[in-house]
Structure 1
Amino acid sequence: MTVFASFLFIVVCPVFAASESFFASSIPSAQEIKSGFNANVSVCQDLHTHVCNYENLEVERYLKARREGMDELLAGLMPKDEPVYNAIYKALHSFSNKIQAELHLCSHQNLRFPYVHSVINAEAHGRHIGGLFALGRCTHSACAMYRVFCEEQWCMVVKRVPSSQSAMVFKPFKAVSNAFIKGIVFGYMKTLLGVNADLDSKMIVFSEDLRPEDFELEYLRAAYDEDGFLSFMEKHFGSNVDENLNDLEKRIQLIKILAKHRNFAPYFNLLFAHLLYQNRNVTKPEIADDLEAIMVDINQEIRDNVEATNNFNSTQKTAIVKYLRHLHMHMGIPKRFRDVKITKSLLEEFQQWILPIYDNDDCALETILRKIGSFRQLQVYHLRELILPIQRYGNYEEPLFLQQAFHMGETIHILPGFFFTLNGNFPIGFKYGVAWSIGHEIFHGLGLHFRNDPGIHGNVGKMDFFQKQKDCYNRYYGSFCMGNEVCPIGDFKSNEGFADVEGARIVYKVLTRKLKKAAKDERRKQQKWFFKAMTMVFCKDAKSNSEEEQETFLHTDVHPRTAVRANAIALQMPEFTELFHCQKEDFNYVTEERCAIYS
């Protein structure tokens, strides 16, 4: 019997030689980017339109490097005989010949179906749901509302973790009377650990009123059940799998799908971390160290501001400073996963778990997906550190390749995709502009909504001062109406807007202190770069800038519109008006009412 891939562990030589030229060709210099800004639109009139000049080749080149540069880097550094990638590639051959109905059967293979005689059987339904969660199948964004996992001593089964523990029940498994809950735990443990699953000793934390209808099976489908996935694979890979296996363009196209898809992310995140630090002479991962130092300075600046203000009492100051001091802050790859000996060992363990994949497996892609998902769930079960610790209790792992940053509880994580382009030779003001995102994420732990618990940090959210400033942000972000007089709901946008503004003020202050000894002209040059680089974080593409897209964004996304965010920050900062010599008649001339809680 032949196999798609055997145990061919990591080798050093890449299939395509990566070199310093990769960065030079992919990422334009700061001067090249500057030449692409829209000279016909003043920053004082519209900072976003001035910077996000989508028609300019240099601006688009930078944005493309930000979107796709990490994909291309991984494709270039990946070993020619990388076993899991090759197994996936070959599995696509049989995959592309299947019809959707067959694929659906693969996605439910060997899992107990939830329906008995057309009537929902609660325990059977629960076992089916639990099995899917054990395989890491709940990767839809809506799955963030679920907590279904087990560790060695206990399991949790809830939908939307309640703000109060009184809403949850703690019982040993044998004392749980809810058949649906018991089914979920049994299905999860049986799928993950097989016949060795020990249930009687488990404590179960669950919502007593959880019912089968609370789980949407639509959220638990495989990657290839998604619209467009099958047609994309057929278009790009067809049947000539062996012939095209090591073609660079094919690898890049496939990596763009695999590495950025939650079903495959646990493996490719680990592979990328390993290759990033194994090839550090090319990848220059030290930029993460630079940004970590900036992150520490930003945190300290906020603490200093809190200590110096008269707006909070001593109890509140102590609580806020304690929170900031104990905040877990991750920049890019967590430090444990920067050790190539550790990542090499983990990759070998991961590969042994996934492989071999036999050529007579009619559901080869499904088999690989299940093994990737279950390996991650086993790391959770055995209390191992994860490459995305902030998502420990979720059922999926975000791809490191995304330009995203996260805040949850006492942890923030800035993904490598957010600062990847800084591997180019950029001025300090540019780096601090991108580092604005650090301040933004830290402030999410300090308001405005506190995840509906204003009693934290010494009841700071219940203060009259805090409420007045919250109302200020609500009014402010509710005022950015579109030309058709459609206006956002201020309370819907203000939480993100607050983090935007206060984060920018703090990071700008840290930069200015850093530039204290610089000549005046150089200092102002770098301060200007701060605002423009921060604005580039909000640049997406020409389509996102259309009026139709912006109106949809206005109604559906909690963030202020992309065309609004930079201008809204500029209006709240007199430093911007002074720096760029804006006049009173200019749109971005500092607004009279300025909202501020911590900055």
Structure 2
Amino acid sequence: MRSASVFFTVILHASLLQKSSATTLYVHEHFNEEISPCTDFNKHVCNLPSAHNPFFKQTHANVLFEEAYENTLKSIADPIYDEIAKIISAKEALVIDHCRKDYTYNPKASDAHAQGMAFGKRIAFGTAKDCSIHCHERKYCMLRLPDDRVFQKEPFSQAPPFIQGVFKGFFRLIDPKFKTKDLEVEYSITANSKFSASDVGEFEAFKKIDTSKDFRKSLLKVLFSSDRFAAYFNYLYSLRLLQAEVFPESEVVKELDTLYQLILTETIATVSNSYTVETRNREDLVGHLRKIENVIGVPEIYRNIEVLKRKVEYFQEQFALFKHVFEKSDCKLQLASGWLYLFHLQELLKENRLSTENVKTESVFQWNLFYDPGHDHPAIRMLPAFIHIAKQEMSIGMKYGILASSIGHEIFHALGLGEDYHLIRVQQNEYYKDNKKCYEDYYGSFRVNIDGKMKYPNGELKAEEGFCDIEGSRVAVRVLKKVLESRNLSRESRSISGRVKYPTFDSVPLQLLIDNKKLIDPYAMNLTEIQWFYVFSALIHCSNLADDAAFKNYRGDEHPRPTQRANALVGQLREFTKAFQCRPDDRLFVTPRRCEMFPQKIEGKPKPKISAWKTNPSMAATVDARKRKKSAKKTWSISVFLSFVVWFVCFG
């Protein structure tokens, strides 16, 4: 069905029931009545009614908190929470900007050892942004810095004074009895030259808390998603949510794992039947994909009530010992978060778990799903607020638009455009090299007018995320189509064929949503499940930013700006063109050959031609590639440019 210019609203209604009941959530969005989805899908779907409208992700992340708050958190009694509440109530969070300090370190200076000691202590308190130390068996430790690519490894006694100082300063706080002289250390070569380390801020949300209105709920909510206090509150909140049975039921977890396995299987089939993948490199890719662990919910350590009780008690005991320190400081909030992180590292060291995946503390309750490359232990991690989508009252197309497309995206990060070892051989393939250029060109084409000048994004920077969007969606929608086809089969034929039981997550049929007056507009009532899949894929990225503001905000970000991300996605997808019956003269009509990293071998069809994408008209106005590249270079952020310089010096 081709879209008409019809205005409709899907009613927002959130009803949080008792823990034994289902959660109900409907999405409130205005579909633009003037713009066809085949012309500008972003503007058609993301017609936010107000500048204050929350992001779609945040709307859904709030659902988990609201359920947790009603069932358990509102009655929480905790001494560490009380101390933080006292700091916020005294308005001290409003005047802590002076506590945030960035430092420059010079490892060649005469006081290099002392500078290293100071830097090591900052790492122990978690205040040096993107800097960490992790160890194995108390015999080997690594220092990681932002954008590090090349490392040097040697006995501690042979390391430069600055490096020795870093490890000594770190362990003086973590464990004064730790014998650094027996260590083998590895460190980024960045630490051999002058560098700056930013202070971890992230206190802005605390400043915005209204102490006169719903203070308790507001503070608990900020702590729910705060990375700065996650070292402790991950344990405390996990304990309370487990005791109150707020975490997803086992059936939901099973269905999510089944969905992941279906998408993974579809991805492996796509890779295996591609002109890009030859016999000699197939096992590189397929072997890596099969190694990926699917971690659903909070990590294992947050699932054991007895362990959580011990952790919470330990933190409370340690916090009480250092409470007097806060009373003498005017940076109480920063000190509190620093000490909690320090206690976290002390526990990890005692348990011999001071490893890469553990030293970084982030809230495990955020709306997130991500690919973790690990150290030879890759994983897809689905956090609780993301999983909560499966419990909402939506149709199958809506749920797959969020769940399946997101899982597909993350799986393709394992096949991305970077320099991972398992990709070395496939990256020599002509189809791979050609399509990498295609993605870079395509994502560099979304121009914007800023002060009368056309600016272009850096396609090389954006290509990885765009590649994952597009390839992941292609696989996800194929799985959805199989789900819909299986519904149309009779029970007998399903039994005879031995078909898989596809996960549906208790999805509500579209007709039932219509019968129950949840979909009330004629246009909304006529959307198919495939169309809803694309609508919800777009909703994930909706933003209330203007396009020029989004361009500036995302200039140095590897993600395409949200104002163009949905268009960039669907403009590459034949299934979208079919679903919305786009015409050849529509802006988002897909041509027979666009970017496709894994073109399929189909009997009776010739091989796709190399560089065929160059003959297609670009979605954005076609410009001379050199001019576009020049424009993109001007818009690089300093951080991205410096990262390139470091890479070039090391590998060029």
Q: TM-score, normalised by structure 1?
A: 0.78
User: 1:20 maps to what in 2?
Assistant: 17
**Does structure 1 residue 68 correspond to structure 2 residue 50?**
no
Q: Which amino acid aligns with 2:538?
A: T
Matches within 5 A, 1:446-465: 446-448=415-417, 450=418, 452-453=419-420, 456-457=422-423, 459-465=425-431
Which structure 1 residue ranges, 4+ long, deviate > 6 Å from structure 2? 21-26, 56-59, 520-524
**Does structure 1 residue 527 correspond to structure 2 residue 530?**
yes
Does structure 2 retain, via aligned residues, the 8 Å contact 1:136–1:377? no
In 1: Cα distance, 2:385 partner to 2:410 partner: 15
83 and 288 in structure 1: CA distance in 2 versus 1, 3 angstrom threshold: farther
In 2: Cα distance, 1:136 partner to 1:528 partner: 45
In 2: Cα distance, 1:310 partner to 1:101 partner: 55
Provide structure 2 residue ranges, at least 5 long, that are not aligned to the other structure: 1-14, 490-508, 512-526, 600-652
**Does structure 1 residue 474 correspond to structure 2 residue 440?**
yes
Does structure 2 retain, via aligned residues, the 8 Å contact 1:447–1:461? no
Q: Which amino acid aligns with 1:573?
A: L
Matches within 5 A, 1:170-181: 170-171=154-155, 173-176=156-159, 178-181=160-163
User: 1:377 maps to what in 2?
Assistant: 345
User: 1:536 maps to what in 2?
Assistant: 539
In 2: Cα distance, 1:536 partner to 1:486 partner: 26
User: 1:96 maps to what in 2?
Assistant: 92
Give the CA deviation at 1:128.
0.8
Q: Which amino acid aligns with 2:140?
A: W
Q: What is the aligned counterpart of 2:145 among 152, 159, 165? A: 159
Does structure 1 retain, via aligned residues, the 8 Å contact 2:64–2:388? yes
In 2: Cα distance, 1:573 partner to 1:403 partner: 25
147 and 91 in structure 1: CA distance in 2 versus 1, 3 angstrom threshold: closer
Give the CA deviation at 1:381.
2.7
Matches within 5 A, 1:98-137: 121-137=111-127
In 1: Cα distance, 2:96 partner to 2:368 partner: 32
458 and 162 in structure 1: CA distance in 2 versus 1, 3 angstrom threshold: same
586 and 357 in structure 1: CA distance in 2 versus 1, 3 angstrom threshold: same
In 2: Cα distance, 1:353 partner to 1:417 partner: 30
**Does structure 1 residue 414 correspond to structure 2 residue 379?**
no
Does structure 1 retain, via aligned residues, the 8 Å contact 2:60–2:367? no
User: 1:13 maps to what in 2?
Assistant: none
Aligned CA-pair RMSD: 3.7
Matches within 5 A, 1:171-210: 171=155, 173-176=156-159, 178-194=160-176, 196-207=177-188, 210=191
Q: Deviations over 1:161-219 (max 9, x none)?
A: 7656xx41221x2333x11111101000111113x222222221124662473242xx2
In 2: Cα distance, 1:491 partner to 1:278 partner: 47
539 and 263 in structure 1: CA distance in 2 versus 1, 3 angstrom threshold: same
In 2: Cα distance, 1:100 partner to 1:197 partner: 33
Q: Which amino acid aligns with 1:202?
A: L
Matches within 5 A, 1:179-578: 179-194=161-176, 196-207=177-188, 210-211=191-192, 213-216=194-197, 219-220=198-199, 228=204, 231-232=207-208, 236-237=210-211, 249-280=214-245, 287-355=252-320, 358=323, 361-363=327-329, 364-382=332-350, 391-392=357-358, 394=360, 396-398=361-363, 400-403=365-368, 405-409=370-374, 410-435=378-403, 436-448=405-417, 450=418, 452-453=419-420, 456-457=422-423, 459-482=425-448, 485-519=454-488, 525-540=528-543, 542=544, 544=545, 546-553=546-553, 555-578=555-578
Q: Deviations over 1:439-490 (max 9, x none)?
A: 1111112121x2x35x534511122121011111122222222356322232
377 and 598 in structure 1: CA distance in 2 versus 1, 3 angstrom threshold: farther
**Does structure 1 residue 85 correspond to structure 2 residue 71?**
no
Does structure 2 retain, via aligned residues, the 8 Å contact 1:33–1:58? no
Does structure 1 retain, via aligned residues, the 8 Å contact 2:144–2:187? yes
Provide structure 1 residue ranges, at least 5 long, that are not aligned to the other structure: 1-17, 238-243
In 1: Cα distance, 2:22 partner to 2:448 partner: 39
In 2: Cα distance, 1:462 partner to 1:382 partner: 45
Does structure 2 retain, via aligned residues, the 8 Å contact 1:391–1:397? no
25 and 60 in structure 1: CA distance in 2 versus 1, 3 angstrom threshold: farther
Q: Which amino acid aligns with 1:318?
A: E
Does structure 1 retain, via aligned residues, the 8 Å contact 2:105–2:194? no
Give the CA deviation at 1:578.
1.2
Question: Which has the larger helix fraction?
Answer: 1
Give the CA deviation at 1:430.
1.6
In 2: Cα distance, 1:403 partner to 1:456 partner: 26
Total equivalences in the alignment = 535
343 and 53 in structure 1: CA distance in 2 versus 1, 3 angstrom threshold: farther
